[in-house]
Chain A
Amino acid sequence: MLGEKKMSKTKVKEITIPDKLMGYTQVRLDVNLTDGTITESTIPKEYCRDWIGGYGFGAKVLWDELKPGIDPLSPDNIFVWAIGPFPTTLLPTSSKYGVFAKSPLTGFFGMSISSGSIAAQARRAGVNLIVIKGKSPTPVYLVIDDDERYLKECGDLWGKSCWETEEIIKNEFNDQRIAVMEIGPAGERMSRIACITNDRNRQAGRTGMGAVMGSKNLKAIVFRGTKGVKVAHPVEFYKKAKKLNKVAVGPATSKYRDLGTPAGLTSYNKLGMMPTFNHREGTWEKIDEGPITPEELNEKWVAKKCACTGCPIACDHLARVPKTHPDYPGIVSSVDIELVYSYGTGTGCYDWPTIFKCIQISDNLGIDGISGGVTAQMACELYDLGIITKEELGYELPFGSTKNLVRFVKEMALGEGFAGKIFGDGTKMAGIRLEEMGKKNASFYGMNIKGLELPAFDLHGMSSFAVGESVSIRGACHLRNGAYGLDAKGTFDRFGYDKPLERGKAIIKLEDTYSIIDSFIICKFTRGIYEGNAELAEVYELVTGIPMTEEYLMKRAEAITTLSKCFNIREGATRKDDHPPPKYFKEAHTKGPAKGVTLKEDGFQKLLTGYYKARGWDEDTGIPTDEKLKELELDFVIDEMNKARANKK
């Protein structure tokens, strides 16, 4: 039983699986859009135990089934949808799903995770994993209505915005709680920064997963489930869920509940880590003095805080513009710090309704709010430097724009005008296109890593997170490892480059926990409510019935992270791809705590080597060693890694 198991440290090989798994349905659906067939198969129990769900499932399917080197926007790409064993249960924040494909934005491992009601409905409908291949001859949407699974012609739905799509489908099914995840016009036109929206304000935003749906002529996936969900150890689980739900409304999550993530505006601004003006600076007087403060946002604009299915925190801060506003009367937008950064501090805009409007356009027309905003920041800086002009854009776009920023964002989402044509696929493509036009050095102002636009951290004075973001599998990202905490909390010298191995180990510890969180899938805002990873193993066992130990779970986390790294290597990624944007090395802040500081190339490389070394990957190439791959039971990737090594030579 549970108590006994915890006392002995279970070895990897000793994890036995009960006859019947709970939590998992083990149902995999294969949807062939080219010929319209849908087949069901059973996911083996060992596969569930070893790849857990979500991220793990995505990494394994993409490694096993995606042909290397394909065009991510061609029918050869594979769109994977996955959940873990927890949705619909009382495990806090467990209604989360992940989507995975080769990213059209980065060319590497693409993944994005969203919340809302999708995973809970899907779990009750009985699906664990959906693998979508090919391309539909006409626009369709996929319906998972309990055991009825079918493709439906889109008709007039194609061309509709995200919110319209949700409303039309809900009315069509005469069910206001049916769950719909859809793409907007941006996804339809295969914008490389297209997102997937569900429940209006929840997005699988990053790495262009909406473009992959669009490339397959897949407008939406609809989920409705009516089957009850049992867990392996109901009484113990109920007790545990009660405890976790209580802790989840305690100090560990107060930031997310009260001021919301925008609380970080103040704290990161004080540290010179809050990117402003396309990462030229890390501080801003509009944050010190207002109006861009978390307090002003909450007191003046937030009308309601909402929750996703099964979430006790309710971080969703809905801001409402009064009906009397001349430009954006009555709009309601879901605001978090990333979007206040991307459309606000990064573009120098300090007009709240403008920021809300930009968020609304992103969510509704279907572009990732972070990538969209950072692309707008790039445009503002290029305009400021005279690299792009009013004549080209059709309007002015200095830092601090309001109406013109909204115009730019709309054109970018819809692919219209100069803004759409040049900037409609994110910063990397914008740089390439502008340089092709003879505008030298334009790419320098695109703040991305591996092509994915940076989240709300300015890396000038963040030497640990410079590594953390650079090694992130999907490109610049704060959600693959929370290594920003190492800089913010002063765990290491954030302006220096000492202790490379220790830093590497610290990043890995965070990263592996995040890989479990992304495989379960639960929300990272609950990462502080567990008594370490052992409790994550415990809830896994209570729900699934698979005896689980922290040791085994963390070994699987390492395997999942390493496998997705191997995916990137198979797609041609090298050490050079694990690198922050050049701006951080060349242009320093002119004020604030990181004034005069730039990242140092040799220092950064030293820390990167430390990370590779701590991972058991080759110190020069970052390719996992045979020894490590065998230890992680990833023998099946060794041939491909040997090929990559040979190419290197």
Chain B
Amino acid sequence: MSASKKFHRFIFVDPNLCTGCEICEAVCSFVHDGEFNPLNTRIHRVRIEPIVNIALSCQKCEDAPCIRACMENAIEKDEEGSIIIDKDKCTGCGFCVRACPFGVITIHLDSRIAIACDLCENMKEEFIDPEVGKKEPQCIIFCPKEAISLKNVEQIGEETRIDAVKRLLAEQLD
């Protein structure tokens, strides 16, 4: 597969590993805004009692409903497939929030502008790890259970297939 045809990678959270600790939310809001506030996060923990835990973030849909829903044409995608919101055009109307099937585009509580996962492209410079020297998704670095990773749909499919085969052909693998 040529590079130009690669699927975009997005934040993938393994529900088997996620403990629902909300650390990803704290990190996300902090590196973008300099303050902790899970309401202004771009990754969202969901807990359904008693045992379901996962965090959801922008899935980088090919035909993104948020883009279609925006009447101001304020949303587009960058080369990585990340959702880019034009702060000058966004009116905070929230139609993108209603359109997103995963609830992962939200309105920032203070700026009243739509926010979605940017893979930390817009994180504050001062929080960049000097040893790394560049921006990288901070939730992945902080996740204590390594439940968060950057994957595309093809990788997820491949991993699922391997898992399935391991189960199906367990005897041959022993």
Where the two chains meet, the residues of A that have a C-beta atom closer than 8 Å to any C-beta of B are 88-90, 117, 120, 124, 176, 200-201, 226-231, 234-235, 238, 242, 245, 248-249, 303-314, 316, 318, 320, 332
Contact = CB atoms under 8 A, between A and B. Distances in A.
Interface in B5-34: 19-23, 26-27, 29-31, 33-34
B39 interface: yes
A310 B50 contact: no
Contacts of A235: 126-127
A124 B37 contact: yes
B19 A306 contact: yes
Interface stretch (B72-80, B81-89, B91-99, B139-147): B139-147
B154 interface: no
Contacts of B127: 234-235, 238
A11 B40 CA distance: 41
A310 B22 contact: yes
Contacts of B126: 234-235
Given A226-B39, A229-B37, A230-B36, 16 more contacts: A88-B26, A88-B37, A124-B37, A176-B47, A200-B49, A201-B50, A228-B110, A234-B126, A235-B127, A305-B19, A306-B20, A306-B47, A311-B19, A311-B23, A312-B21, A312-B144
Given A89-B26, A226-B39, A226-B109, A320 B51 contact: yes
B152 interface: no
B144 to A, nearest CB: 3
Contacts of A245: 23, 142, 144
Given A235-B127, A245-B142, A309 B36 contact: no
A228 B21 contact: no
B36 A89 contact: yes
B149 interface: no
A249 B21 CA distance: 13
Given A226-B109, A248-B144, A304 B53 contact: yes
B30 A249 contact: no
B159 interface: no
B121 interface: no
A226 B50 contact: no
Given A226-B39, A242-B141, A312-B144, A90 B23 contact: yes
Contact of B37 (A227, A234, A309): A227
Contact of A307 (B20, B27, B35, B40): B20
A318 B48 CA distance: 14
Interface string B45-63: 0010111010000000000
A361 to B, nearest CB: 16
B53 A228 contact: no
Chain B interface residue number, banded = 20 to 34
A307 B23 CA distance: 10
Nearest to A239: B129
Contacts of A242: 129, 141-142
A314 B19 contact: yes
A314 B144 CA distance: 9
A505 B26 CA distance: 39
Contacts of B109: 226, 228
A90 B40 contact: no
A300 to B, nearest CB: 16
A442 to B, nearest CB: 38
B33 A228 contact: yes
Which A-B residue pairs are the 6 nearest by beta carbons?
A312-B144, A228-B35, A307-B21, A228-B37, A314-B19, A307-B19
Contacts of B19: 305-307, 311, 314, 316
A149 B51 CA distance: 32
Contact of A312 (B23, B29, B33): B23
Interface string B119-147: 00000001101000000000001101100
Interface string B88-114: 000000000000000000000110000
Contacts of A89: 26, 36
Nearest to A89: B36
Nearest to B50: A332
Nearest to A313: B144
Contacts of B49: 200
B44 to A, nearest CB: 10
25 contacts: A89-B26, A89-B36, A176-B47, A200-B49, A200-B50, A201-B50, A226-B109, A228-B36, A228-B110, A229-B35, A229-B36, A229-B37, A238-B127, A249-B144, A249-B145, A303-B51, A304-B50, A304-B53, A307-B21, A310-B23, A310-B26, A311-B21, A313-B144, A314-B145, A318-B50
A249 B27 CA distance: 17
B21 A314 contact: yes
Contacts of B145: 249, 314
Contacts of B38: 88, 120
B40 to A, nearest CB: 7
B133 to A, nearest CB: 15
A66 to B, nearest CB: 34
A604 B28 CA distance: 53
Q: Which of B39, B49, B110, B129 has its CB near the most chain A CB atoms (within 10 A)?
A: B49
A355 B127 CA distance: 47
B32 to A, nearest CB: 11
A445 to B, nearest CB: 35
Contacts of B51: 303-304, 306, 318, 320, 332
A14 B37 CA distance: 34
A238 B30 contact: yes
A227 B38 CA distance: 9
A248 B142 CA distance: 11
A176 B40 CA distance: 17
A316 B53 CA distance: 13
Nearest to B40: A228
A489 to B, nearest CB: 27
A304 B50 CA distance: 9
Contacts of B34: 230, 234
B104 to A, nearest CB: 16
Nearest to A170: B49
Nearest to B142: A245
B27 A90 contact: yes
A622 to B, nearest CB: 42
A579 B76 CA distance: 71
Contacts of B40: 228
Nearest to B31: A238
Contacts of A311: 19, 21, 23
B26 A90 contact: yes
A226 B50 CA distance: 25
A322 to B, nearest CB: 14
Contacts of A308: 21
Contacts of A117: 22
B107 to A, nearest CB: 12
